[in-house]
Amino acid sequence: MARLDVRKTYKLYIGGAFPRSESGHSYEVADAAGRFVANASLASRKDVRDAVVAARKAFGGWSGRTAYNRGQILYRIAEVMEDRRPQFEDAVRQSEGLGAAAARGQVDAAVDRLVWYAGWADKLAQVVGNANPVAGPFFNHTAPEPTGVVGALAPQESSLLGLVSTLAPVVVSGNVAVVVSSYGRPLPAVTFAEVLATSDVPGGVVNILTGDATVLGPWLAGHMDVNAIDLVGVAGHPDLAGELEVAAADNLKRVRRAPAAEPDWSIEPGLEPMTAFLEHKTVWHPVGV
């Protein structure tokens, strides 16, 4: 007897749970050859608002953890990804049309990138903070602090490595994130959400929405409770990127500007992605008090 295909509809990841889109809408996801793979939820404006509320609720607890603990949790994400390697390789191969070896390399790089950021978690403050020399009987210290809720438009082409490279520096520095995945290649992102749900990441720290960045982006950029936004997902679209920067100016968001083309994610990222969403607090304290 012939079996019918069981067509899966992937849900959103908001507040540590997997809700359907508030709109009830979904869209078809095809592989690189145009064949149907699954359905993905089409996030709405209400879903964006719900994700921001969940992120804001999680910010105090996440930013208040020790940097060492955040590093442990990122390392745990890498461990669980390693355990689910075949699923990630299939998702990347289908999404990006890569051969088995190339897909394996992308998964390797994504896991290694998480481990790299995990190692930086408890070192960042020492590198970008400072004890400042001043004239007078004072101590003067500058320390980095997380910005808050960061909206991120994930890369459209690099469905896994680009996603991890965009998200990891946001959360390792104590921020919380609302991420819009690649529209045409969302499967690695929804698989990554399943990993987050089982990797000690508190609910709301990372929220992943599937949908069109050109539609969801303006709602994130204009949201008054979003403190910063990464526009890498609209790389190569300067007009749209400019509109999002204007919308972000309403509440003086920090903006990581869209590059002219999607970056080469295989290159070591350096400190800039982590420092992009940090505030620097300087404290004066009298000597001997």
User: pLDDT tens, 104-157?
Assistant: 999 999 999 999 999 999 999 888 877 777 778 877 777 889 999 999 999 999
pLDDT-derived band at 267, boundaries 50, 70, 90: very high
Domain membership of residue 188 (yes or no) is yes
Q: Find the range with the poorest average confidence among 11-20, 170-179, 263-272.
A: 263-272
The CA-atom distances, in angstroms, between 276 and each of 128, 169, 214, 240, 266 are 12, 9, 23, 21, 19
Q: What is the mean pLDDT of residues 8-22?
A: 95
What pLDDT score does 24 carry?
A: 93
Measured in degrees and rounded to the nearest 5, phi and psi for residue 125 equal: -60, -35
What domain count does the chain have?
1
What pLDDT score does 8 carry?
A: 86
Please check the confidence at residue 257 and state whether its pLDDT lies above 90.
Answer: yes
CA dist., res. 119 & res. 60, Å (int): 22
Measured in degrees and rounded to the nearest 5, phi and psi for residue 209 equal: -110, 135
What pLDDT score does 39 carry?
A: 96
pLDDT-derived band at 44, boundaries 50, 70, 90: very high
Please check the confidence at residue 231 and state whether its pLDDT lies above 90.
Answer: yes
What pLDDT score does 184 carry?
A: 96
CA dist., res. 8 & res. 169, Å (int): 31
Radius of gyration of the chain (CA): 20
CATH of the domain at 114: 3.40.605.10
Whether 39 and 7 have beta carbons less than 8 Å apart is answered as yes
What pLDDT score does 130 carry?
A: 75
Please check the confidence at residue 289 and state whether its pLDDT lies above 70.
Answer: no
Domain containing residue 200 = 9-286
Domain membership of residue 1 (yes or no) is no
Domain membership of residue 3 (yes or no) is no
DSSP 61-93: HHHTS-HHHHHHHHHHHHHHHHHTHHHHHHHHH
Domain membership of residue 240 (yes or no) is yes
CA dist., res. 74 & res. 115, Å (int): 7
Domain membership of residue 137 (yes or no) is yes
Listed residue (128, 106, 110, 112) closest to 274, CA to CA: 128
What one-character DSSP code corresponds to residue 270? -
pTM over 0.85: yes
Domain membership of residue 4 (yes or no) is no
Structure confidence by residue, pLDDT tens digits, 165-214: 999 999 999 999 999 999 999 999 999 999 999 999 999 999 999 999 99
What pLDDT score does 97 carry?
A: 94
Q: What is the mean pLDDT of residues 37-54?
A: 97
3-class DSSP state of 119: helix
Domain membership of residue 2 (yes or no) is no
Q: Mean pLDDT across the chain, nearest whole number?
A: 94
Whether 186 and 160 have beta carbons less than 8 Å apart is answered as no
- Residue 162 CB neighbours (<10 A): 26
Please check the confidence at residue 58 and state whether its pLDDT lies above 70.
Answer: yes
DSSP 160-208: THHHHHHHHHHHHTT-EEEEEPPSS--HHHHHHHHHHTTTTPPTTSEEE
Please check the confidence at residue 51 and state whether its pLDDT lies above 90.
Answer: yes
Q: Can you tell me which residue has the tokens 């019918």?
A: 4
What pLDDT score does 142 carry?
A: 79
Domain membership of residue 201 (yes or no) is yes
